[in-house]
Amino acid sequence: MKTVTVDLGKRSYPIYIGSGLLNQGELIRKHVPKKTKHLLIVTNETIAPIYLERCKKAFTDGGLQVDEVILPDGEKYKSVEVLNQVWTRALECRLDRGCTFVALGGGVVGDMTGFAAACYQRGVPFIQVPTTVMSQVDSSVGGKTGVNHKLGKNMIGAFHQPQLVLVDTDSLYSLPDRELASGLSEVVKYGLIRDAPFFLWLEANVDRLLARDPTTLAEAIERSCLNKAAVVAADEREGGVRATLNLGHTFGHAIETATGYGNWLHGEAVAVGTRMAADMSYRLGWIDQDLVRRVNNLLDRCRLPAKVPAGMTSEQFSNLMAVDKKVEAGKLRLVLLKGPLGNCVVTGDFEKTKLEETLKAFCA
């Protein structure tokens, strides 16, 4: 088992990474607050038949009472309306402030459970048990929680840190190939924005990742979590460096919103957004053409899309990107690559004509 710590002082918590961890109930229970006697597991209809009973047993073996709520599966259900099912179930079970919520699933379940926990009785603890690459390397770590709005992705939410992130790598064996590839877009991101040696490692090992080699997967998850934990420790509430984790996301969120949540997987949209960010960075003269080539080549090898959705226009991109959490005082800021591999900036100071050129090139 590997352990990565998210260092937030008294609110620090571990990320455990390894095979068969969901069967280690004692390991999980030591991170349940002492006052908790009753837990609510939030999962979805895809994950529940595979992992719910195993997850429940990890807690009931310690004498804890456990209830569950099973949500529909998919990004299109990441809404306040569906989230209300969690609060309703918690109230039906008469859960008090001493309860703990458990997120068992991918990024949608994790984000929604965290937000539900942040709001229920003005805040109760929660535990993350992520079951997808995307959630294991990114969304389960750092306390960002929330839901989508029809006008913008993840625009309604709160920062709420978990007690524990338990990454059982065995869960990846049941993951569809498309979901596996989608999660790799976030892994590639860390190499581009801050960890050049990791990017080189990915270039050498991407085929093993796609083949689900357990040692290679565990290494990629650990290195991703080390990068994410370091950024979160330095900037928990995204006042500075944490915004760099959004490479490709402003373009990508526009794609998700335009196509309807769930039609494109998050990582697929981010992959195209990353290609667009690299293209724009090159047009600005901030990176060389060889880096653009390497970005595109690695994303191609990850089996991720290269083109924007058919029919999406540059005007649509512009309008949707204007509704983004990185907009400040009406000014769009983007995460762009600048300098050698492993360096980036978050800035609104760029030639707008270069953004227009990138949008037109991808929407042609």
Catalytic residues: 122, 144, 186, 228, 238, 242, 246, 249, 253, 266
- Which phi and psi angles does 356 have, rounded to 5°? -60, -40
CA-nearest of 146, 138, 145 to 184 is: 138
- Which phi and psi angles does 173 have, rounded to 5°? -70, -20
Give the Cα separation of 83 and 256 in Å (integer): 20
CB–CB of 132/183 below 8 Å?
yes
CA-nearest of 93, 335, 49, 355 to 194 is: 335
Give the Cα separation of 157 and 160 in Å (integer): 9
Burial string for 89-111 (b: 16+ CB within 10 Å, else e) reads bbeebebeeebbbbbbbbbbbbb
* DSSP-derived pairing of the beta strands 13-18 and 152-159: unpaired
Unique residue bearing structure tokens 């991720």: 304
Give the Cα separation of 13 and 196 in Å (integer): 27
Neighbouring residues of 293: CB distance < 8 A, sequence distance ≥ 6: none
CA-nearest of 141, 296, 303, 82 to 206 is: 303
Give the Cα separation of 326 and 203 in Å (integer): 30
Query: How many other C-beta atoms are found inside a 10 Å radius of the C-beta of residue 306?
Result: 11
